[in-house]
Amino acid sequence: MDLEFNKNEDAMRMAVSQVKQRHAQISQGGGKKAMDKAKEKGKMSPRERIAYLVDKDSIFTEIGSFAGYEMYTEYGGCPAAGTVAGLGYIHGRQCMIIANDNTVKAGAWFPITGKKNLRLQEIAMENHLPVVYIVDSAGVFLPMQDEIFPDKEHFGRIFRNNAQMSAMGITQIAAVMGSCVAGGAYLPIMSDETLMVEGNGSIFLAGPYLVKAAIGEDVDIQTLGGAKTHTEVSGIADYKFDTEQECLDQVRRIIDKMGEQPRAGFDRAKPAEPAKDPKEIYGLVTTDNSKPYDVVDVIERIVDNSIFDQFKEDYGKTIVCGYARIDGWAVGIVANQRKIVKSGKGEVQIGGVIYNDSADKAARFIQNCNQKKIPLVFLQDVTGFMVGSRSEHSGIIKDGAKLVNAVANSVVPKITIIIGNSYGAGNYAMCGKAYDPRFIYAWPNARIAVMGGEQAAKTLLQIQVAALKSKGQEIAPEKEKEMLKEITDRYTAQTSVYYAAARLWVDEIIDPAETRRVISEGLNAANHNPEIKEFKTGVFQV
């Protein structure tokens, strides 16, 4: 290993360590005081509830832990969007588990909470996964009600999805361990079975204060909508328990008795570890995404036996395509090549840029994978499509559109990992969030933006300077330099992977050494949905 490798490795390990430190802080939820208050009521934290529910020593793949990161600071923040969730195993069955965090503003829903919960339901629907809701929420965060209540992708869509999932035959179980108020009261009742913890669990459309204000009735929480009321009087809940542990034990028993469902039938052989050490990935890529590398080296540290069969290896070299297995699963891999290469025409091609021939190759490969029913894995490190007169005259827009068309209409599951840059239309062509990947993850060094920070800052500076000069103002070089730094700092902050994860542009920030595992878990989830549509591309310019 050379000096450059060691420097890269140290920098990536530090970046991974920072992710883990920030995740540990997020895991504190609303803080120690709020956690202690919940424990006094006999409540576990949402992470403790999930740990108790899932199989011991099993894998739990958290989703959206950085949602809301450094957002809503004027209200004290919203760690993990007030919801802890992910893919977990209950009696060996992969499930989507969604737990409200009552230590964050009593589990109230911020706008990002709604977005996260809808994404979690979307994953469950796309992959036909059973859902366990661990309910403990005060409902909509009223100071921001206009941003969470009435629109298509707001709070009410949750219950629409409850109904849709039920019609699809997807099992939903709600364990009510705290408040379940107003519109939120519909979620457990629209689930297949509802379990409640006596003394803490409650379900009602209006709490005691609102009831008093509306009709003048004095009533306490448990009489109005506690476990005893709903299991003995209203009949809307199915079970009541003295403790949260007993409640979760019953959830496990229900899941254990579920019948087998049809599978998609994606091919899986006996898993084999990569022949090359996955942790060597740390030394291959720079954390500032500044230097070229051979993406095949990265792929060989993810795939079984480090065997990767390249498709059209000597054509369209700035995108690498090929077949492999990941933890036994057959996959087609589409990856941006970052090393500088020569095309068949003898031209030097810049790494990370999509050229005509690369777009053409990738579109054809995606068609092949759909024909063979092979899931797709995209490894993004892309700065965009090649520009300039030569590319335009060669029809780069047509070839780019061909690739975007193939990605948009692909019917096999797509899993995207952003391992470096994700800029401009390259984000779209390599299956960014707008193109419906089943799962999308990012390494700590990932950057997502319409263009690179330096180019964007200089462009924005030119616009600002021109506007000031049009008003007759002269800009001194020192002032222009100061303006450039301010613009660059602001833009760079917005390209950060934490900024992206906070807004759920990616599902999670992952340790690069965990890439293989999260892809395998995603493919296992995707295999639960047997419904694969016919692959059609519509109008396709050749």
Among residues of the chain, what percentage have pLDDT more than 70?
Answer: 98
Residue with tokens 């579109």: 363
Which residues sit opposite 441 in a β-bridge? 417, 508
Q: How confident is the model at residue 145 (pLDDT cuts 50, 70, 90)?
A: confident
Q: What is the largest CA-CA distance in the chain?
A: 84
Q: With 60 as the cut, is the pLDDT of residue 115 above it? A: yes
Written as six digits, the tokens of 389 are 């007169």
The 10s digit of each residue's pLDDT in 213-254 is 999 999 999 999 999 999 999 999 999 999 999 999 999 999
Written as six digits, the tokens of 12 are 């990536």
User: Considering only CA atoms, which of 49, 538, 532, 540 is closest in space to residue 263?
Assistant: 532
Report d(CA 252, CA 388) in Å as an integer. Answer: 60
Model pLDDT, residue 542? 58
Sign of CA dihedral 436, 433, 406, 397: positive
Model pLDDT, residue 30? 94
Helices and strands (H, E) in the chain, number of each type = 19, 19
Report d(CA 362, CA 336) in Å as an integer. Answer: 10
Exposed, middle or buried: residue 14 (CB in 10 Å: 0-12, 13-18, 19+)?
exposed
Average pLDDT over residues 117-146: 94
The 10s digit of each residue's pLDDT in 295-338 is 999 999 999 999 999 999 999 999 999 999 999 999 999 999 99
Phi (first) and psi of residue 426, to 5 degrees: -60, -35
The 10s digit of each residue's pLDDT in 276-304 is 999 999 999 999 998 999 999 999 999 99
Q: Which amino acid is at 422?
A: S
Note whether 114 and 154 are within 8 A (CB): yes
Model pLDDT, residue 223? 94
Model pLDDT, residue 453? 64
Written as six digits, the tokens of 265 are 């039938």
Among residues of the chain, what percentage have pLDDT more than 90?
Answer: 76
CB within 8 Å of 476: residues ≥ 6 apart = none
Question: 71: phi > 0 → left, psi -120 to 50 → alpha, else beta; which?
Answer: beta
User: Considering only CA atoms, which of 388, 398, 453 is closest in space to residue 424?
Assistant: 453
State how far the alpha carbon of 368 is from the alpha carbons of 73, 373, 407, in Å.
48, 9, 12
Average pLDDT over residues 476-488: 79
Written as six digits, the tokens of 266 are 């994606």
**DSSP labels, 26-85:** HTTTT-HHHHHHHHHTTPPPHHHHHHHHSPTT---EE--TTTTTT--GGGT--GGGGEEE
Provide the angle, in degrees to the nearest 10, between the axes of the packed helices 453-470 and 477-495: 140
Note whether 174 and 131 are within 8 A (CB): no
Which residues sit opposite 384 in a β-bridge? 353
Sign of CA dihedral 152, 154, 156, 161: positive
The 10s digit of each residue's pLDDT in 411-424 is 999 999 999 999 98
pTM given for the model = 0.93
Residue with tokens 């629409």: 160
The 10s digit of each residue's pLDDT in 12-37 is 999 999 999 999 999 999 999 999 99
Q: Looking at residue 105, what DSSP letter applies?
A: G
Q: Which amino acid is at 461?
A: L
State how far the alpha carbon of 528 is from the alpha carbons of 10, 62, 170, 325, 531, in Å.
39, 19, 11, 19, 9
Q: How confident is the model at residue 349 (pLDDT cuts 50, 70, 90)?
A: confident
Written as six digits, the tokens of 185 are 């009261």
Query: For residues 491 and 116, which has the higher predicted lDDT (pLDDT)?
Result: 116
Within 328-413, strands assigned E span 329-336, 341-342, 348-349, 353-354, 376-382, 384-385
Within 424-500, strands assigned E span 439-442, 447-449
SS3 150: coil
Residue with tokens 């609102």: 210
Report d(CA 58, CA 257) in Å as an integer. Answer: 19
Model pLDDT, residue 348? 86
Rg, Å, the chain Cα set = 25
State how far the alpha carbon of 505 is from the alpha carbons of 54, 95, 112, 203, in Å.
27, 22, 12, 33
Q: Which residues of 295-308 are buried (b: 16+ CB within 10 A; e: fewer)?
A: bbbbbbbbbbebeb
Note whether 361 and 315 are within 8 A (CB): yes
Q: Other CB atoms closer than 10 Å to residue 477's CB: what's the count?
A: 7
CB within 8 Å of 370: residues ≥ 6 apart = 410, 411, 412, 535
The 10s digit of each residue's pLDDT in 69-114 is 999 999 999 999 999 999 999 999 999 999 999 999 989 899 999 9
Written as six digits, the tokens of 130 are 């059973």
